[in-house]
Structure formats: structure tokens, C-alpha cells
Amino acid sequence: MGLQKVAHRHLDYDKAASAIFTEPEIADVGLAEAEAFAEGRKIRVTKVPFSATPKALINNDPRGFVKIISDPATGVVLGGSIVGRHAAELISVIALAVTANLKVTDIVESLLVHPALAEALAEAAE
């Protein structure tokens, strides 16, 4: 397919994921908790440590967490952050949820691989 056939689309950079490749990695997307607080927005924040997942224990690296920010009335995922192993890859799940206006229940109802660090995403969405 040539470039002339690719339709132009608007990119919403407020929904773009970002990552810092430190040890451990840090990644975030969408609305930040501090930003919501400053705006006076009501949000639901859930945070799950990686130590709650079997894969983190298998990897002998329980550092970090997954945090999901959602609208308490609708359940729509507004943002999130991840600190820990593979955070830059795992944030893609939350980025998809933010971009597609998915609800936390959509993440919870997804059948994820076990054992995997991504299980913390489903736990944080509950």
C-alpha cells in the first residue's frame, strides 16, 4: 500500500503512552491522578502491587505496581501508570482501553495468560 492511500488521522497526544526505561521501568498513559485532583475531578483509583501476581514471584522481582484511573460513574478507563518489569509493554493494554473508551469491566473480562505480569492489570481493574 502506498502512502497516498493512507488516510490522515488525528492523533490525540493526551492519550499517548510514555515510558522511562529505568530499572524498574516507569510508564503512564492518559489522565494522571494528580491532574485529576488538580481539576477537582472525581475518579476511582485502584492500585495493585506486582507482588500479588504469581509471575512476579516466579521472576523473583516483586517490585512495582499497576494503577488504573477510571470514571467512578461509568467505569471508563481514563488513565493509568505502571512501575516495574516490562512496564513499557504492559502500559499498551491501558493505552488501548483509554483510546477505545473501554470500561474496567472490559479488562476484567479479558482472558489473560497465566502466569503473567498482565494479571495485575485485571486485578487493578476490579
Please identify every residue annotated as catalytic: 114
Element (H, E) at 79: strand 77-84
Is the separation of the CB atoms in 42 and 33 below 8 Å? no
Residue with cell 497526544: 13
Residue 27 backbone phi and psi in degrees, to 5: -145, 150
- Angstrom CA distances, 25 to 16, 36, 85, stand at 17, 23, 6
Q: Record the cell numbers describing residue 9, joined without a space.
A: 488521522
Q: How many residues does the chain have?
A: 126
